[in-house]
Amino acid sequence: MAEADTSSNNADDAGERTGFEVVIANRYRIQTDSALPNLNLGNAKAYTVRDDKSPKEPLFARVCGPESIPRLNILNNLKHMMDANLLRPVECEDIAWPGGEGRRIAIIFRKPDHEVMFPANESRVTPLQPDEMAKTLLAPAVLTLGYMAQRGLSHRAIRADNIYWHGGGRNSILLGDCISHAPAHLQPVLYETIESGMTPPIGRGPGTIRDDFYALGVTVLVMSLGERPLDTLTDEQVLDAKLARGSFSALMDGGRPPFGLRELLRGLLSDDPYERWGLEQLEQWLGGGLRSSVQEIRTGAVERSFEFDGKEYTNCRALASAFGNNWSKAAKTILDSGFEKWLRRGVTDLSLAGRLRKTLAIGGLPDKEKGLDARKVAQACMIMDKHGPVRFQGLVAMPTAMGLMLADGYYRKNSKSIKLVAEAISSGAVLDCYTLQGGAETIIYEAEITQLKQMQHLLKSTAAGYGVERCLYMLNPTYPCQSEVLLGKYVQNIRDVLPALEEIVEQHGSMPKVVDRHLVAFIACRIKANIDKPLAALDAASDATATKLAMLGIFARMQSKFGPKNLPHLTQWLAKELELTVDRVNGKSMRDQLRDRVQSLGQSGSLVELQNCLNNDKIIRQDETARKKAVKEFNDAAREISQLESKEFQESAQRQGWRIASRISATVSIGTMAYVVFS
């Protein structure tokens, strides 16, 4: 973790202390008083960076805003794509940002040679000719997207104002930063496919390389025109135009495609992702060997319009979007006879109409069950818009964006949003996005389907280590732990959890609390081992001491698997907190020995040894055996005493005494008589 060098001045500027240097990897110095506003990207501010090992290397850092969800999961891949035409990251760390606003992610890049192709504040640029387009933009972009496709990655930030000119004669380009923000978060609807444009920016998800080819097609059009099409329209109006006319026709806006680019643009702007041009077609086109044109199809068009919420709809995709925006009214509409009649008479796609009728007939009327209503609407929307987002009770997001939606909900402390995402997963609405598409989609997204089923199981439990917090970390593999126990420390890797807790105990003398749902869920998700038994012990703990003992078991597993070997402060604190557990041992001598052992282990720094001592089954069995033996001996003695003190025993003893006395008396009498007779 990088820290601020506080040797500079302490002036404040808009809430941030300037003049500081933040050092990364012991060599890169982010100069916070040397801002580079021309390289800002969204809420990621840019600053000059000085490399101690290569002072002349032109570097800059983008410091992500506190609400950002950077794509750290793809960073290492991009870092090593040496031949790609890409603004490649050099280094990345979380840093203590001056101004006391917590830790942030800083990503260091090499400065591009030139400005972007089409600055955001410009309305026109010099158009590119087809030959120039192919050489300077398409060829390097296709090469780079090919590298990304090989690694299963998508860029999701391709647009004219995020592509830099490159080379001495501006004879090439660099695709811009795709890491510092969530996928497609800064993309205007103009550059997004219809389905992605329907969602809020945080709900678009990583998508696939097909989405990048669509954005590349829009970029080609923009640069060939020298201006942005539909520039006077709002995002909503752009989306409506695409739905009404198809992307290609909408973006042409009545004009003719630039000479020589018709087939290319039709191919890249196809609204059917499986018809859209990909690497193979682009490589053939660049080589002059492909001239076949993709025919534009208005997906979801119908013969008769359908009225919903006061508006006429002539496209199933647009109707699905309207249903998603007013799901409660849609729940009544889809069960109405008028909707079924429209399906029979107005929808030309008989397969779509048949699937809708079949889906809506299952289970009949939902009987006022809100969840069933919402899922029916979601299923209907998925069938009418098979590539579209999940639409569930007002939630609109691509199925691959559920993790981003959760992370954003937790950052904003939006419990309603968090609950909605959890319900969408647990109800099966997200899973339906894959299963309703048929065999091909089920095979392609097999891993996602398996994960969703696992999360449905996890959401059934309210115990720590399960529930929606576990889903948050499953869906966001690089998301830092949000536990309050960590006191604001940025912990992204499970190896850093115990060192962070050790530092907290060293500084504060204790942990704020031992159990936190985020901490336990983060560990359970990242440990890559089965810890169901310790989690069950944690759930069964009936008091604070038992809870700490259960957490010791989890911490010990972490230390055994990841280290470090020595955690003196954390071990000593836990040993002291768990001294009361020694009292469960019944044998005094064994209890005294165990107490001495615990106190000794508190100085050892080994949570593993402390765990083995306090959760030693052999000692517990020996103590239990000795206890049972002592109890038996005590009970036997008590029984004998009770018998001796009982009235029955006293009377019996008295009668027995009388009998013995009588015999003795008789014996004495006989002896006396015999003596008299014979004497």
Question: How confident is the model at residue 587, as a pLDDT?
Answer: 54
Q: Are residues 192 and 338 in the same domain?
A: no
Mean pLDDT for 26-51 is 95
Q: Which residue has the higher pLDDT, 611 or 164?
A: 164
Q: Are residues 72 and 153 in the same domain?
A: no
Q: Which of 85, 111, 137 is the last residue of a domain?
A: 111
Question: How confident is the model at residue 228, as a pLDDT?
Answer: 96
Q: Which residue has the higher pLDDT, 471 or 374?
A: 471
Residue 45 lies in a domain: yes
Query: What percentage of the chain carries pLDDT values higher than 70?
Result: 86
Question: How confident is the model at residue 667, as a pLDDT?
Answer: 77
What is the residue-wise DSSP string for 19-78? S-EEEETTTEEEEEEEE-GGG-BTTBEEEEEEESS-TTS-EEEEE--TT----GGGHHHH
Question: How confident is the model at residue 546, as a pLDDT?
Answer: 87
Q: Which of 111, 130, 154 is the last residue of a domain?
A: 111
Residue 468 in this model has a pLDDT that exceeds 80: yes
Q: Are residues 159 and 76 in the same domain?
A: no
Residue 107 lies in a domain: yes
Residue 629 lies in a domain: no
Q: Are residues 672 and 531 in the same domain?
A: no
Specify the CATH number for the domain of residue 46: 3.30.200.20
Residue 33 CB-density burial (10 A; 0-12 exposed, 13-18 middle, 19+ buried): middle
Residue 379 lies in a domain: yes
What is the residue-wise DSSP string for 359-405? HHHTT-S-TT-HHHHHHHHHHHHHHHSTTS-EEETTEEE-GGGHHHH
Residue 205 lies in a domain: yes
Q: Are residues 271 and 334 in the same domain?
A: no
Q: Are residues 71 and 162 in the same domain?
A: no
Q: Are residues 224 and 240 in the same domain?
A: yes
Q: Are residues 663 and 605 in the same domain?
A: no
Residue 645 in this model has a pLDDT that exceeds 90: no
Specify the CATH number for the domain of residue 198: 1.10.510.10
Average pLDDT over the chain, rounded to an integer: 87
Residue 526 lies in a domain: yes
Residue 360 in this model has a pLDDT that exceeds 70: yes
Question: How confident is the model at residue 659, as a pLDDT?
Answer: 73
Q: Are residues 313 and 416 in the same domain?
A: yes
Residue 148 lies in a domain: yes
Q: Are residues 145 and 291 in the same domain?
A: yes
Mean pLDDT for 33-55 is 95
Question: How confident is the model at residue 1, as a pLDDT?
Answer: 55
pTM above 0.75, yes or no: yes
Question: How confident is the model at residue 612, as a pLDDT?
Answer: 87
Residue 641 lies in a domain: no
User: Into how many domains does the chain fold?
Assistant: 5
Q: Are residues 52 and 143 in the same domain?
A: no
Q: Which of 64, 85, 111 is the last residue of a domain?
A: 111
Q: Which residue has the higher pLDDT, 278 or 641?
A: 278
* pLDDT, tens only, 12-26: 333 344 567 899 999
Q: Are residues 36 and 74 in the same domain?
A: yes
Residue range(s) defining the domain that contains residue 563: 488-614
